[in-house]
Structure 1
Amino acid sequence: MPTISSPPYLIHSLLEPRPNFEHPLDPAARRQQLSLGLRTGLTRTGVHLCRLEPQMESTILHWHTADDEWLYIISCGPNASIIVHETSDEGKDEVKEVPLQTGDFLGFPAGMRTARKLFSGDVDMQYLVGGSREPVDVVHYPTLGKRLVLDRTGSGSSWWVDTANAQDRKKTVFDSTLDSLK
């Protein structure tokens, strides 16, 4: 019987293996992930089908400067949650756990300084995560004092920046000129 190949825009995701993904800053933060967007050739949108084993965290608390990010919970148990880190207007850091349930959708616009990660609870969690893929993005890890600069403009380079060693750039005459053009 001949094998029929799927067109490049179709993935039978239930038949595909989901490789393990470990976060480079914390190998204990791991998930199984199938990159649907890359597999279908999407260039401006990322979409990943993910599975978290029981009692696992999906990543490290983070937020994006340029990329929107969203999550859709396909299935989870009663004590699944999203852990968020926010800084109040008074500069006080707050970490809270928000319960999740099957069917929840979460949206984080670019620049929203709400760092987040998922926690599966006592059973597996299945979810979709996706977002925009801007040419340049900065991923902030506020609890670690680090940033990841992603350059998707061709070379695919990225750089880890230790926030403690970063220097603020002073405004110049050029910046004032740009501000006046807005």
Structure 2
Amino acid sequence: MTDEQRSLLKASKINAMDAFEFHHPLNPNSEIYLRFLGRAVGLKRIGVTIARVPPGKESFIYHAHQNEEEWVYILSGRGIAEIGDREHEVAPGDFMGFGLPQQPHHLRNPFQEDLVYLIGGESGRLDIGVFPRLGKRVIRDSESAYILDDSALQLFWSSKNASQD
């Protein structure tokens, strides 16, 4: 396969891709189908994915990333985006961007048709996801992910307490 063939993903091939079904382990109403476009063309540091959330289901879980920026562009259907402490109805053409520091966010589909969107962002070696409503966080490295309760965190070092040279 040439570099040109590897770099171009035609719509027919995207439509033929098997979707990866994911259910977030901390959200019993999570059901999302993912087609990893970025991986298919060899992207390693940027994720680009088409996501589909069926009616009555939710994407992942209300969360924020500490090290990775993220964005969402709605392709079809409607959904409810929770951003911070507010809810917004979103529809085709709407764009959301989550820079750092990041507002917690989440998407759900209470409507009668599939919610389909393009999602992307950084794909670094290390990220910390915060689940503020659950008092938990997940630490993900390039190999694994580890979950812990916020109550188990112990301060090891703080730049606020460090002496100035």
**Contact between 1:69 and 1:110, CA under 8 Å: does it hold in 2?**
no
Greater gyration radius: 1
Find the partner of 2:97 among 98, 107, 128: 107
Question: Residues 22-66 of structure 1: CA distance to partner in whole angstroms, max 9, x if unpaired?
Answer: 112224211010111122221110111111111211110000001
Question: Residues 90-146 of structure 1: CA distance to partner in whole angstroms, max 9, x if unpaired?
Answer: xxxxx321111110110000321x211112222111101110112211010000111
CA distance, structure 1, for counterparts of residue 120 and residue 64 of structure 2: 13
2:20 aligns to what? 19
**Contact between 1:55 and 1:123, CA under 8 Å: does it hold in 2?**
no
- Per-residue deviation, 1:151: 1.3
CA distance, structure 2, for counterparts of residue 45 and residue 147 of structure 1: 22
1:117 aligns to what? 106
Task: Indicate the SS of the match to 1:168.
Answer: coil
Correspondence 1:166 to 2:165: no
Task: Indicate the SS of the match to 1:34.
Answer: strand
Q: Which letter does structure 2 place at the counterpart of 1:55?
A: G
Task: Indicate the SS of the match to 2:151.
Answer: helix
Matches within 5 A, 1:82-97: 82-84=81-83, 86=84, 95-97=85-87
- Per-residue deviation, 1:170: 4.0
| TM-score of the two chains, using structure 1 as the length reference | 0.78
CA distance, structure 2, for counterparts of residue 176 and residue 132 of structure 1: 33
**Percent identity, aligned pairs only?**
31
1:131 aligns to what? 121
Unaligned runs of 5+ in 1: 1-5, 87-94
Task: Indicate the SS of the match to 2:29.
Answer: strand
Task: Indicate the SS of the match to 2:15.
Answer: helix
| TM-score of the two chains, using structure 2 as the length reference | 0.86
Q: Evaluate the alpha carbon distance shift between residue 167 and residue 116 of structure 1 in structure 2; reply closer, same or farther with a 3 A threshold.
A: same
- Per-residue deviation, 1:175: 4.2
CA distance, structure 1, for counterparts of residue 131 and residue 155 of structure 2: 18
